[in-house]
Amino acid sequence: MYLAEPQRPWVAPQTTWTNYQTPYYWQATGVKGVDDRNTHEHVRKVKYTEVGSWLDFDVTELVQQGIYEYILYGSYAGTNKDIQFRSNNYWLASERPKLAIWYE
Write out pLDDT tens, residues 61-94: 888 888 888 887 776 555 555 667 788 889 999 8
C-beta neighbour count of 58 within 10 angstroms:
11
Predicted TM-score (pTM) of the model is 0.64
Return the domain boundaries, the chain. Answer: 1-104
pLDDT at 68: 84
Q: Output b/e per residue, 39-49; b: 16+ Cβ within 10 A.
A: eebbeeeeeee
Q: How confident is the model at residue 19 (pLDDT cuts 50, 70, 90)?
A: very high
pLDDT above 60 (res 42)? yes
pLDDT above 70 (res 26)? yes
Sheet hosting strand 2-4, strand order edge to edge:
42-43, 2-4, 71-73
Mean pLDDT over residues 17-46, rounded? 84
C-beta separation of 2 from 62 below 8 A: no
C-beta neighbour count of 29 within 10 angstroms:
14
pLDDT above 60 (res 97)? yes
pLDDT at 93: 92
